Amino acid sequence: MTFSRWLPIGEAAKYLGLSPPTLRRYEADGDLASIRTPGGHRRYAKADLDTFMQHRFEVLEYRKRKRRNERKWHRRRLELWRSEAYLRRIRSES
């Protein structure tokens, strides 16, 4: 095992643009793996961090698309509701 590819928690957090407590939470949730040194310090593999960020990016893109589609659906429902209400009003006036 070469430690040049393993980052301590502070460097890993900077690399990902997150805080160390956030990395600890992801590790506790099982989303990110680390090893422990004999002194108990966490080390994160750079390849694991890259994979993690790619997965997080895909999840965020999926959520963004889903929200966009939901907004479109709600807009269409509102337009349909308004057009139906308009047609009912015109029919009742006739």
Long-range contacts of 11-19 (CB under 8 A, 24+ apart): 12/44, 12/49, 15/46, 15/49, 16/49, 16/52, 16/53
Give residue 1's pLDDT band: very low, low, confident or very high (50, 70, 90): very low
pLDDT digits (tens, 9 = 90+) for 54-73: 888 887 788 888 888 888 88
Return the CATH number at 73. 1.10.1660.10
Is the pLDDT at 11 greater than 80? The verdict is yes
**What residue numbers bound the domain in which 28 lies?**
3-93
Number of domains making up the chain: 1
pLDDT digits (tens, 9 = 90+) for 18-54: 999 999 999 999 889 999 999 999 999 999 999 988 8
